[in-house]
Amino acid sequence: MKIKSPDLVKIAKANSMTLEQMIGVVDLITAGMDPVAKRIPVLENGVNRYYSVERKGVGPLRTQFGEFWEFAFELDDQWVDYTVIVKANIDKETLMPRFKNIKELMVRTDSGCITGQVFGDLTCDCLD
């Protein structure tokens, strides 16, 4: 089966972008698919340990609340998959967020449980 190439002109027009802007977004998303891994030290319940954190992808997210960047991560913990949504400009070289005021960041951390947090699963004990 032959896969049809996307019509970037049509996609750009549907998103109120020029073809050049759309190509820039595609290039940025393609670069964001290159995994980046780090080992992060964590003190958890009085025990020092390391987590392996791998950024699996980065891409733009346009919502009714504004434009954000979505980061997909994989950790070596019990939940494995995490998504982070960031409201910031992105450094196009490193794909790292550039915050306007790092002393006043609003952060919400949750368990990473997609069934309870996203789908509202009433059997999920993460919501207790």
Pick the residue with more confidence: 113 or 71?
71
Task: Tally the domains of the chain.
Answer: 1
| Residue 91, domain extent | 33-97
Lowest-pLDDT range of 31-35, 74-78, 91-95, 122-126: 122-126
Residue 107 domain-assigned? no
Residue 102 domain-assigned? no
Pick the residue with more confidence: 117 or 9?
9
- Model's pTM, two decimal places? 0.68
pLDDT of residue 7: 87
Q: How far apart are CA 13 and CA 42, in angstroms?
A: 46
Residue 67 reports pLDDT greater than 80: yes
Residues pairing with 32 in the sheet:
none
Residue 86 domain-assigned? yes
Residue 47 domain-assigned? yes
Residue 77 domain-assigned? yes
